[in-house]
């Protein structure tokens, strides 16, 4: 197949997305596909260039990326560096190239790529893509809305509230410790654990840097887990234990900064319950293809669902691929399988 692996964009997870896209494309090429990594924002050359044979040398025509930096990207600098200076989210030739592909593998993370907007545009253009539809993607992107939906379905969540930037001066919160994070962010960018009221202002500053709406929620002291779900069926659970601090951007992408154990070493009862919660959340959010559901568990084995990731990280060492490997599905198998299950929505 001719496959566009769509990456980049303008989210705080831009660099992570490139890493996922590069690894996915390599895996798909190893399986005989012609996979092209395309930056959704920068596009391909200029609007006048010939893209007739772009898949003939897909690797050479792919965007080149370096390792994931330890700091989040400077989005304004990226906008300023676009040659055509267009404000359009889709760079030159992106839609045309995606229309030529048999399918677009969505390696975008966060921002417009995971919010349902790209998915909605592709539906209008008749472009087939991996992952969930635009409605469920939009719901899952909103952390507080996700919690509201899955709590009604019987999945426990931490207490939390949302705050818009314009209402900041009036805001008071009395449950400490708490955690502050952008409502639609990812990769723990802009996330701060707040132990006392004096620390709240700084945490709000960090979160509002990325979005105009943030979530302030009860901090659950305990162990962190994640569970991938494919076609409604939960994979083995993985535990993430940072060697220092919490599982923030640096700990997620710096080599050796966290210990990840799959299957997680927890009781059979806790395993069964968490997998059930993952499957219930997946269904309640209207997800149909694949996602990764994140959890915390306290010392009494009380489980709390934090969020759903509809386009989870996709390198061989990312959480979802590690879980798939435990059930005998290597990275190349997984990439092809995600395409297969995603194309079923067009059958």
Task: Enumerate the active-site residues.
Answer: 13, 187, 318
Separation of CA 65 from chain center: 19
| Residue 309 in marked binding region | yes
| Residue 93 in marked binding region | no
Separation of CA 91 from chain center: 21
| Residue 307 in marked binding region | yes
Q: Which residues are annotated as a binding site?
A: 294, 307, 309
Q: Which residues are annotated as a binding site for Mg(2+)?
A: 294, 307, 309
């Amino acid at each position: 197949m001719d496959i566009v692996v769509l990456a980049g964009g303008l989210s705080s997870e831009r660099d992570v997305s490139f890493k996922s896209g590069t690894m996915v494309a390599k895996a798909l090429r190893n399986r005989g596909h012609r996979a092209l990594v395309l930056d959704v924002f920068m596009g391909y050359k200029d609007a006048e260039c010939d893209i007739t044979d772009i898949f003939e040398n897909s690797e050479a025509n792919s965007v080149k990326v370096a390792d994931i930096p330890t700091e989040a990207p400077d989005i304004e600098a990226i906008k300023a560096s676009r040659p055509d200076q267009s404000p359009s989210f889709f760079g030159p030739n992106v839609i045309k190239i995606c229309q030529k592909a048999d399918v677009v593998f969505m390696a975008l993370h966060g921002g417009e790529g995971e919010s349902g907007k790209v998915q909605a545009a592709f539906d209008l253009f008749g472009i087939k893509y991996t992952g969930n539809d635009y409605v469920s993607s939009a719901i899952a992107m909103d952390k507080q809305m996700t919690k509201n939906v899955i709590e009604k379905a019987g999945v426990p969540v931490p207490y939390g509230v949302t705050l818009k930037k314009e209402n900041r001066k009036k805001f008071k919160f009395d449950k400490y410790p708490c955690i502050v994070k952008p409502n639609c962010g990812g990769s723990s960018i802009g996330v701060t654990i707040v132990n006392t009221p004096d620390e709240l202002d700084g945490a709000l500053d960090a979160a509002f840097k990325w979005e105009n709406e943030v979530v302030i929620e009860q901090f659950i002291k305990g162990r962190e887990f994640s569970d991938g779900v494919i076609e409604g069926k939960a994979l083995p659970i993985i535990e993430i234990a940072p060697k220092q601090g919490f599982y923030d951007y640096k700990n997620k992408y710096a080599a050796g900064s966290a210990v990840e154990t799959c299957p997680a070493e927890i009781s059979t009862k806790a395993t069964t319950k968490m997998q059930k919660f993952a499957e219930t959340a997946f269904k309640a959010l209207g997800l149909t293809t694949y996602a990764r559901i994140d959890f915390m568990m306290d010392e009494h084995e009380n489980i709390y669902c934090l969020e759903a990731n509809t386009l989870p990280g996709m390198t061989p060492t990312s959480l979802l691929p590690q879980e798939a490997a435990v059930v005998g599905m290597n990275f190349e198998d997984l990439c092809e399988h995600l395409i297969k299950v995603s194309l079923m929505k067009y059958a």
